[in-house]
A and B are shown apart, each in its own frame.
Chain A
Amino acid sequence: MKKIRFWSGDIAAAEGAIAAGCRFFAGYPITPASDIAEHMALRLPQENGIFIQMEDELASMAAILGASWGGAKVMTATSGPGFSLMQENIGLGAITETPCVVADVQRAGPSTGMPTLVGQGDVMQSRWGSHGDYETIVISPSSPQESFDLIIRAFNLAELYRVPVIFLMDECVAHMSERVVVPPKEKIEVVERLKPSMPPEQYMPFKPLNNIAPMAIAGMGYKIHVTGLTHNEKGYPQTTSTEVQEWMIRHICDKIRKNERKIRDIEEYEMDDAEIAVVSFGIAGRSAKAAVKIARKHGIKAGLIRLKTIWPFPEEYFENAADNIKKFIVAEINYGQVKLEVERSIHGKASVELLPKFGGAVHTPMEIYNKIKEAKNGN
């Protein structure tokens, strides 16, 4: 039977993670992500899972990668300053193709910024924060309900594509409490990573079968070598081979890029005949929806494109959408990040305007509506 809960976004994310099969959490507390760790500390032991409070965020990230190779579904949770510290090992997760979920509950930055107040300034960092070429999947919930539902998907995608998935929350969604409908266990789709079944002498831990390599876990009897160095299909370092470097980079990027359509998750609202589209995500997406409702009441053909997946960026989607849209208004709580991606994707077919908030507050519906009205009047 489904259950109705009254949960904050942080609690819903923690419960969603457990529902997805997460049984290992290593983290270091930081507002506004601490409630996730606190709830995991309570709940994971009840589920025969392990919670560790680490000495810092570098170690937290390292611990979850190790636990993932130990066979667990794993996550950590942090906010901007901690997310910066995790970047090195997120890169290690990318090159070693290690399934894991990293929740970044955004607050206003840079640096320690505004610890208790909202920001959405980590959009680019969630994709480009570590060095070198790699891809991540980035998912952004707008409510406690989506914190529950979408973190389950985050785990599923991490397992499916052997990739770190960033769960990009924000302070408002994390701290607000709302109704969360928890489906019965058997109705929750849970994906398990592909494991090898061939004889051990034939197994290669980085040789893809249909895009993704089966992942042996410690104790299964397979030999593995896992390294942050450029490596071949066997996992052996090949630090001077440009061919292996090219093969590896193409693989870790293309497994995500080529599946962008399958990964893509967008809420469209009133987009059928829209001429003006508000693009938004997370908490700002809720103000944007309210603004579109006001605009429609005033007879303005406005619609909402709310990104539930931000990366890989849905370039193709925006290029197609631009055929019917005169103006995109990007409402985000930063000084222009998703706006750059929208602009890049539509190849000049429409105009794009940023409606920024600088952190500490959310756009009010009227602020966004006024921008829609301006666009309608041709300004």
Chain B
Amino acid sequence: MKKEIRFSGYGGQGIILMGNIAAKAAVLYDDKNAVYTPSYGPEARGGAASSNVIIADEEIDYPYVTDIDVLVAMSQLGYEHNAPLLKDNGVLIIDKDLVKLKNGVGKVAKIDATRIAEQLGKRIVANIVMLGFFTAVTKILSYDAIKKAVLESVPAKFKELNEIALEKGYKEGKK
């Protein structure tokens, strides 16, 4: 098993953190190999942001994502820019309020992650809602692993909120 995953959106959505948490979950709690590579640059806030994760049972030599198995798009630009790199049997996951699909090829899973986060009172946890959804849809990570990794990565006073956000997203993905 080897999965190349790209999380994309715009700066401020916590896109970088999503990749970091997903890879951390794989390594620390699902006993898999994973590598996380951030993209740094002037686009850090406001512009395009992406983070890349490879999760595999085998040794990972080349650490960069080239042919995407799972594309998580939380912005129109992220979708348009990265969709051409999605494999034929790849999975596209979108925030349906933020991404308008151009053509309906391939598997698409949709969630209104940002709206759910707003209903929870904090728009900022949209990325965690999305991580829960991603976990349920792709089954690459166990729920237990992603939960532990999320709780370890967020400030103590927001643990409860993030746990609820994760669970919401996960349940949406199970539907």
Contact = CB atoms under 8 A, between A and B. Distances in A.
Contacts of B36: 176-178
Nearest to B20: A177
Nearest to A144: B35
A6 B66 contact: no
Interface stretch (B26-34, B73-81, B97-105, B167-175): B26-34
Nearest to B63: A176
Interface string A265-295: 0000000000000000001001101100100
B27 A178 contact: yes
A179 B66 contact: no
A364 interface: yes
Given A116-B41, A176-B37, A287 B62 contact: yes
A177 B33 CA distance: 11
Given A6-B23, A6-B24, A175 B38 contact: yes
For chain A, the bracket of interface size reads 20 to 34
A5 B28 CA distance: 7
Contacts of B158: none
A105 interface: no
A6 B63 contact: no
B28 A172 contact: no
Contacts of A1: none
B33 to A, nearest CB: 6
B6 to A, nearest CB: 15
Contacts of B60: 178
A343 B41 CA distance: 37
B35 A178 contact: yes
A4 interface: yes
B61 interface: yes
A290 B59 CA distance: 10
B40 A286 contact: no
B143 interface: no
Interface string B43-87: 000000000000000001111101000000000000000000000
Nearest to A288: B61
Contact of A365 (B20, B28, B34, B61): B61
B34 A290 contact: no
A151 interface: no
Given A116-B40, A179-B34, A172 B63 contact: yes
B37 A286 contact: no
Contact of B27 (A179, A283, A365): A179
Contacts of B40: 31-32, 116, 175
Contacts of B35: 176-178
Contacts of A172: 37, 63
Contacts of A32: 40
A147 to B, nearest CB: 13
A362 interface: yes
A4 B27 contact: yes
Contacts of A175: 37-38, 40
Contacts of A178: 23, 27, 33-36, 60, 63
Nearest to B25: A6
Contacts of A4: 27-28
Nearest to A283: B63
Interface of A: 4-6, 31-32, 116, 172, 175-179, 283, 286-287, 289-290, 293, 362, 364-365
Given A6-B24, A178-B23, A179-B27, 5 more contacts: A6-B28, A32-B40, A176-B63, A179-B34, A293-B61
21 contacts: A4-B28, A31-B40, A116-B40, A172-B63, A175-B37, A176-B37, A177-B23, A177-B24, A178-B23, A178-B33, A178-B60, A178-B63, A283-B63, A287-B61, A287-B62, A289-B61, A290-B61, A290-B62, A362-B64, A364-B62, A365-B62
